[in-house]
A = this chain, B = another copy of it.
Amino acid sequence: MRFTSQTSSAGVTEQLFTLTSTFGEIPGVLWTPDAATGTRPLILMGHGGGQHKQAPGMVARAHRFAAECGFAVAAVDAPGHGDRTKTEEHNRIITELRTRAQSGGDVTPLVAAFHTLLTDQTVPEWRAVLDALQQLDHVGPGPVGYWGLSMGCGLGVPFIAAEPRIRAAVLGLNGAETSAEAAAQITVPVEFLVQWDDEMVPRAASLALFDVIASPEKTLHANPGKHGDVPMFELDSSLRFFTRHLT
């Protein structure tokens, strides 16, 4: 893990890093409270489709987790996103997705195929990133949470199912098509967000994914509005959820 830059704003230090993996260089970012030392809870955040590790929503959430809870927070660019190059196959699927979305067709099977393609890579990548982060003095081997909506949920579910270090997760805005089998192996506490009028994920598919998660403690939070309209108070709820389960 090689750090390439460090900045600080409003009490939170942001460090960009690169991790060399069997899939190439993984660009990532780590947020911690300024001058942090010692082990602390760590939140891994998976960004949405077409977004990247430092999209505005990602930065805003990371700042709240770090500043208000004292957590470490990390994100990486998913394959074909942010600073990473797209393969021919990525480009083919993305073009198909855009075409079908513009014609009003059902994008669900394509989204599911894209997520499945990516998770073969992202699960081992996330595990390598987690290994490296836990070696750092200001992160350490503390309890780990995962936060990911939409594609961040689609890619997160198989990761959480495979990774026993994840102790709690905020998921949602994704249906059962991609990841029902992995979801049935998740047993840690989950807070699951649904947008009641989601134009991208059918309501029944969201409810079906929540339904299949095997966790004894799982809570579904549904709010009116479209895919991008998750209300701000849900971030307050995520903070409390992780505080309850990781501290």
Contacts and interface: CB of A to CB of B under 8 A. Distances in A.
A57 interface: no
Contact of A224 (B194, B216, B231): B216
> Binding site of A, secondary structure by majority: helix, strand, loop or mixed?
mixed
Contacts of A237: 237
A84 interface: no
A210 interface: yes
Contacts of A220: 194, 196, 220-223
A43 B219 CA distance: 25
A224 B233 contact: no
A90 interface: no
Interface in A199-247: 207, 210-211, 216-224, 231, 233, 237, 244
Contacts of A211: 196
B233 A223 contact: no
Given A217-B231, A231-B217, A222 B210 contact: yes
Contacts of A196: 211, 220
A13 B224 CA distance: 39
A222 B222 contact: yes
A28 to B, nearest CB: 32
Interface of A: 194, 196, 207, 210-211, 216-224, 231, 233, 237, 244
Contacts of A224: 216-218
A17 to B, nearest CB: 35
B223 A219 contact: yes
A17 B187 CA distance: 48
Contacts of A233: 244
A223 B231 contact: no
A12 to B, nearest CB: 25
B216 A219 contact: no
A48 B181 CA distance: 38
Nearest to A234: B219
5 contacts: A196-B211, A216-B224, A218-B223, A219-B221, A233-B244
Contacts of A218: 223-224
Contacts of A221: 219-221
A211 B207 CA distance: 14
B223 A222 contact: no
Nearest to A223: B219
Contacts of A222: 210, 219-220, 222
